[in-house]
Structure 1
Amino acid sequence: MTGTAAPELDVVEWFNTEEKLTLAELRGRVVVLHAFQMLCPGCVASGLPQAKKIAAVFPRNEVVVIGLHSVFEHHEAMTPVSLAAFIHEYRLGFPIGVDRPGGDGPLPHTMAAYGMRGTPSLVLIDRAGIIRHHAFGAEDDLKVGVEIALLMAEGRADD
């Protein structure tokens, strides 16, 4: 998927934003997409804390962090009410979309479109809407920060 145009998000509900977000509207900014599940230990231990740090450190006019709640197991436990409580308890302030449930299999639509293998997954999308980094599992904060900074600098060099 790296080097290809990022598929549009297929989200059924949004949290922490008044309006529906689209990648098309976010062109010109670096997008950090963190896919997670509430009951995923790796998401709670590393993915979501990393997303919070990125949202706190980088300027919002240049870098947008989006959480993607992609449920592929324990569906009964991961309701919108549970997610709202989770977002509140973990103090997640960035926009979070709920991935559309899959129709043909267990994977939700956006997760399948991006070829994600599980959660946590991290996708970095450049200012032009191209996937530049796609990873499954915990990622080193410093490495991810450098990659985001390089994508930000790339956009400035093209101005």
Structure 2
Amino acid sequence: MWRRTLLLGALLGTPAAAHPAGSDLLRDLLRQDLPSRTVTVQVVAGRDGSNAGLNFTGSSGGQGTLLVPLGWTVDLQFRNAGTAPHSVIVLPFTSPLPAQPRAADAAFPGAVSRNVTRGVGRDAAAQTVRFQASRAGEYLIACGVPGHALSGQYLKLSVRAGLKEADWDPAPHAHP
């Protein structure tokens, strides 16, 4: 059975600045199906004006880590609400970040949206980015448009053995 948590503020579009990184805002955008070992996460690029619009769901620069059990399927429901083009790609957690990620840089097969370097506009249809979290480790959910990840448009992803379900760690993490 899908576990859904819906916060009225998330539904009404309350600005993310009203929700500190330690709040439940990110959890409200996550649902999981324990029997099928699938987690679905809403990833909204440019949700608000924070970090000059270079954010995912109002978070940027590693504010929050998506924790996923090893072997689970991850569905990123990606859409762009911002004025600039955006995309999404899951990258290995490396330093420095690649200035211009390419689809071939994706950490897992399928872990990249269409038009990763050009991005898509606000009017583009939502995309599902589906991949298997097949290797434990630390990763980034980043925008692939050149310069966006370097400017902080990323969240962390941690794939861990031993987890029973997906969750968010709200602690902020610095740029890798």
TM-score exceeds 0.5: no
The structure whose residues are more often strand, as a share, is: 2
The structure whose residues are more often helix, as a share, is: 1
